[in-house]
Amino acid sequence: LGAWIFNGIFAAEFLAKVAAFGFSTPKNKLYKAYWQDSWNRMDLVVLILSIFDMISSLVNLDRFIGSSAVRVLRILRALRPLRMMNRNPGMKTIIVALVGSIKPIFYATLFLVMTITIFAVVGVAMYKNTFFKCTDMSLDGELGQGIVECSGTYVSETAYLAPRAWLTPPWNMDSFPMAFLTLMRVTALNWVDVWNSMQDKVEPGVQPIVNNSPIQASVFLICFIFFGAFFALNLFVGFIVDGFYTAQGVDSKFDEIQWATIQKMIHQKWPQAKSYPPRNAFCQQMRKVTGSDRFKFISA
């Protein structure tokens, strides 16, 4: 019942706008026609999908156009909340800002992909096949034990006899695709496990040694997190904020900066009352103490 009521209201709104402004040709040069406004086009598409959903609930359309097509069209009901954005100026501004930021966000994404690609190539060169380790942690990499000794069985921590296996964790640098995915994991600041594997690396085929090369792993990950996570994230945020200012009005940000600059100039040029030093000796000493840099540093 609610769908019939709301769809009836939106249909009446559609007919009223078409009667007032015209569908494709404007009736008044001061106002756009209904179809000339992109938000109205979106409203019409969502209205048609909603009406189709109501008809499909009454008539079995699966036998005519197929169940898959009907299922896809019903999924498009998720677009219904978009109609409310046209009535909310704040949400409308945000959507316009996001749409206007698509091009610079694409450039920021391209920069992030290039950064991950460069570090992935370097990671494969430095850490290929070095994340492998035996399930039997009693093997000592300092003695050169590794894949050769990782055979047979051993007694696990749960006191069960288990076969030895030479395995690599899900994050590794064995190939370029895996290195790319591993660095994407680090971009989400999920870097602790990757860092532990990097700093334990020895050479391919040898059991990792705890804290064998922490400096190399730390420098590699710190450089990547700075350029790949923080810097790229700041680019995304900066482009979206700039798009938001542009959606509000291109000159709005400039006007605010100009107003703040004028206020600062007025404050600097405002006539200052002339002050005279105290005549009392004690007050002079207190003035000297409170005006010193040491006192300002300590009191801060």
DSSP-assigned beta bridge partners for residue 134: 166
- CB–CB of 287/277 below 8 Å? yes
The answer to whether residue 149 scores a pLDDT higher than 60 is yes
The answer to whether residue 257 scores a pLDDT higher than 70 is no
Reported pTM? 0.58
The answer to whether residue 297 scores a pLDDT higher than 60 is no
Which token pair is 181?
């995915």
The predicted pLDDT at position 178 comes to 92
Mean pLDDT of 195-220: 88
The answer to whether residue 67 scores a pLDDT higher than 70 is no
CA distance 208 to 193: 14
Mean pLDDT is highest, among 77-86, 136-145, 271-280, for: 136-145
pLDDT: is 149 or 279 the higher one? 149
Q: What end-to-end distance do the CA atoms of the chain give, in Å?
A: 66
The answer to whether residue 121 scores a pLDDT higher than 90 is yes
The phi and psi torsions of 57 (rounded to 5 degrees) equal -75, -20
Q: What is the pLDDT of residues 16-56, one digit of tens each?
A: 888 878 887 777 777 778 887 777 787 788 778 777 777 77
The predicted pLDDT at position 26 comes to 77
The answer to whether residue 256 scores a pLDDT higher than 80 is no
Mean pLDDT of 4-26: 80
Q: What is the residue-averaged pLDDT of the chain?
A: 78
Burial 11-29 (b: 16+ CB within 10 A, else e): eeebeebbeebbbeeeeee
CA distance 224 to 293: 41
Ramachandran region, residue 160 (left: φ > 0; alpha: ψ -120 to 50; beta: rest): beta
pLDDT band, residue 107 (cuts 50/70/90): confident
Instruction: State which amino acid sits at residue 100.
Output: G
The predicted pLDDT at position 120 comes to 92
CA distance 149 to 290: 74
SS3 at position 134:
strand
